[in-house]
Structure 1
């Protein structure tokens, strides 16, 4: 019998991760303690929605929520580029550092200061690693060309193509490509040739596409995600509901004990 593969998936969800992602990680670790196997994080950095990385922090004095996010180099990147291709402009990190003491302690700010990735997806992933959240967890990325090459064919998908000197994520719609401008508005582009390395899934085809490469035995998801997953396309998976967590859409601003001790050691050197 093959060893269990416990998987959870998530887009980059803030430079400090949303609490529901941490709930998925905790659920995966608890399950691993029970059944063994390995944990795989399906990091869906092909998504293009800039709202995914909104980071909600609470003011340390008033407890009022504040919504922070990345800045982007231009409008095309912000609206249409996949998260792995959204570049962080110079100065954003320095400006954000000045705001953070209002919301979090220095141990978390130091991790932010030590992160120097150039794209939104890379920055978020390095932050999660710096916080000690992904220790012992394998990360696979939907934007990885090798992952895409190994995935199954799907009928409903996006392709990453050049547009206005950027990489954008366009949905295939018959004989045209569409960029979603918001609401019911779309910008239509002519069809171009593309390869499998440019293809990435829609919400409805993501599970089957992911599973064709990862072959997980267990998949952890919140109630909202489970409502739209096409479970019938992956009957071999046992679906596990993530543990409950309060303020699930806000940022997780705690450190695992081991990571906190390491950060305190660095701070006092």
Structure 2
């Protein structure tokens, strides 16, 4: 989906907290540094099709005392929490106000105000808008894995999930041997009724995500985190130059402003 001829510098990440984890900030900084050297554009592959509610846990620390505070979104029900993709997990009406009351003392007042003013109905959009309010995405193109146009443009992959209705919600079911299944935990799976689906409902697994993303984004450089380096199938995309993101301390904590 890239129409330019210059470098396309990409990094990927799920929504990773309503204040982004510091490792995402490090990816952004690495991309900007590379762009300053090479030119071209930066693309943030925003994998908001993921369904794991743990991705959006947000770890803050009290500014004066360092006391930690772990926050996350509230979810409408168990089905939505466990199985709905992040772009369809709803932001509950009272969650934002209750959470805003907890933020003073943990983040600067300007971020409390920005958080309070966000008008987003789902988890993925809420996180993305907060990142924008913080100025992190200025000049960066966002390609969302939930975007029907991107899904249509992406290649077919043998391992994938499908967004399908289930018990009043839309869930992300793994397609396995022709059957749609939800992973309850351990070796326990729930098999859903057979359903027809289109490419607009399909998103990749971890192992097929790079090839799927690249078929739509067509990047020249990809910035990966340390854990990503362990599972990326780089041999499938020999045209990409891979780089490791800059190191950053306390990488799993929330980034709340400042140089690092």
Structure-1-length-normalised TM-score = 0.93
Q: Distance in 1 between matches of 2:185 and 2:99?
A: 27
Structure 1 residue aligned with 2:239: 236
Structure 1 residue aligned with 2:112: 109
Structure 2 residue aligned with 1:67: 70
Q: Distance in 2 between matches of 1:208 and 1:196?
A: 15
Structure 2 residue aligned with 1:84: 87
Structure 1 residue aligned with 2:201: 198
Of residues 167, 180, 183, the one that matches 1:180 is: 183
Structure 2 residue aligned with 1:264: none
**Structure 1 residues 145-183: Cα deviation after superposition (integer angstroms, max 9, x where no partner):** 110001001000000001111110000011321111223
Q: Which SS does the other structure have where 1:239 is aligned?
A: strand
**Structure 1 residues 217-257: Cα deviation after superposition (integer angstroms, max 9, x where no partner):** 0000111101100000000000011000000000001157x
**Structure 1 residues 114-150: Cα deviation after superposition (integer angstroms, max 9, x where no partner):** 2110100000000000000000000010001110001
Q: Distance in 2 between matches of 1:184 and 1:137?
A: 40
> Residue 60 of structure 1: CA displacement?
2.5
Q: Distance in 2 between matches of 1:225 and 1:139?
A: 20
Q: Which SS does the other structure have where 2:162 is aligned?
A: strand
Unaligned runs of 5+ in 1: 257-269
Structure 2 residue aligned with 1:262: none
Q: Which SS does the other structure have where 2:82 is aligned?
A: helix
Q: Which 4+ runs in 1 deviate beyond 6 A?
A: none
2:228 aligned with 1:225, yes or no? Answer: yes
**Structure 1 residues 49-74: Cα deviation after superposition (integer angstroms, max 9, x where no partner):** 00000000012233122210000111
Q: Distance in 1 between matches of 2:218 and 2:27?
A: 18
Of residues 3, 8, 14, the one that matches 1:5 is: 8
Structure 2 residue aligned with 1:140: 143
Structure 1 residue aligned with 2:25: 22
Structure-2-length-normalised TM-score = 0.96
Structure 1 range deviating more: 125-134 or 103-112: 103-112
Unaligned runs of 5+ in 2: none
- Give the aligned length: 256
Structure 1 residue aligned with 2:38: 35
